[in-house]
Structure 1
């Protein structure tokens, strides 16, 4: 779990929020600021992936290689994320879940599903300080998309059930946060005419 900037404007909400997007989309930055502003915990798929690596006494590269070779790692990760979603979906307390599949795994339990994206060149610039090359990022995205489809029949490009879809290259980090903050503060369940149905994912 992570926290963000203590100076962030407070947000009064009890919503369970999912944040998803490809590498370099700005999900971590947004989640940290939201978690701090709301005063709630957030869990990311990256956190759980690191937990699994530690439990198996493996580094991240080793676990990634194993995930490429077998579905066992992906399924273990996704099952943990879905269990977390089930727990918080019944809690009536604010919570943020972040991963590529968070919106899918949380399904109808989530109150608000967010997809972040940015043009590939922008995302590549953002991950320059990470140990990942342009080719590796592209291969990983294609590989993950194939695995999601193979394991769960999930088309990661199907985003119609997301409530907010933001191109984070068009605004500053602070402005992206403000866009989402406004959405949360202006949300009124009494006038909500219904979210798009989220497909069921059977792990």
Structure 2
């Protein structure tokens, strides 16, 4: 992705803790960069932390992905780091964006707004052609991750019922997707937050 691909964001005054989740190629990185600019805040990506874990172990991303099928240590190490970040920013009363497949679950009730992004398989494959993993790897990883989440935490990653927004990013441009989310942020009223689905912390 180049700087030209990042939507130009308007400024929004907010102190919300926002999670963004979805499969590879869903547009999460583009949205997070737009939100970071609009809210003047940082964001953390699960993918970046996964790369940090690979660097710490001196292995490639593909090698680390392969190891996740052999042991639960990699997934749990990643999830522990993400939860620590969620705990920190959830108590900070400052805007922040956390992105990962499990971000909404890991943040639990600390999150103010939980977003799920998706797009048809062919669209996501096309978007990820320049990444390290190939189409077959991406599909295998998605199936494998879903099984591990269910096995480790009894989480059904396909259950989108507790997300506040679920967006098919193939239907709108990155700019339009960002505008929808920014509008939701501006209209969010914590005093009338009756529709939130509570989520309990689970053991990592």
TM-score range normalised by the length of the shorter chain: over 0.9
Q: What do the CA deviations read for 1:80-101 (whole angstroms, capped 9, x no partner)?
A: 0011101111111111000000
Equivalences for 1:76-87 in 2 at 5 Å? Answer: 76-87=77-88
- What is the Cα deviation at residue 187 of structure 1? 1.1
Which residue does the alignment assign to 2:159? Answer: 158
For the Cα contact (< 8 Å) 2:17–2:95, is it kept in 1? yes
Q: Tell me, which stretches of 5 or more residues in structure 2 are unaligned?
A: none
Answer yes or no: is the 8 Å Cα contact 1:5–1:36 preserved in 2. no
Q: Note the aligned Cα RMSD (angstroms).
A: 1.6
Change (3 A) 1:6 1:21: closer
- State the Cα distance separating 1:5 from its structure 2 match: 5.2
Deviations along 1:153-194, one digit per CA (max 9) or x if unpaired, are 111011111000001011001000000010001112233323
Q: Aligned partners of 1:16 and 1:78: how far apart in 2? A: 18
Say how many residue pairs are matched: 201
Structure 1 residue ranges (4+ consecutive) displaced by more than 6 angstroms after TM superposition: none
Structure 1 residue runs without a partner (length 5+): none
CA distance in structure 2 between the aligned counterparts of 1:61 and 1:35, rounded to whole angstroms: 29
Q: CA deviation at 1:64?
A: 1.4
Q: State how far apart, in whole Å, the 1-side matches of 2:78 and 2:63 are.
A: 15
> 1:10 offset after TM fit, Å?
0.6
TM-score by length of 2: 0.94
Structure 1 pair 156–6 and aligned structure 2 pair: CA distance change class (3 A): closer
CA shift in 2, pair 1:134/1:61, >3 Å: closer
Tell me how far apart the structure 2 counterparts of residues 132 and 13 of structure 1 sit (CA, whole Å): 36
Q: Paired residue for 1:94?
A: 95
Q: 1:122 matched to which residue of 2?
A: 123
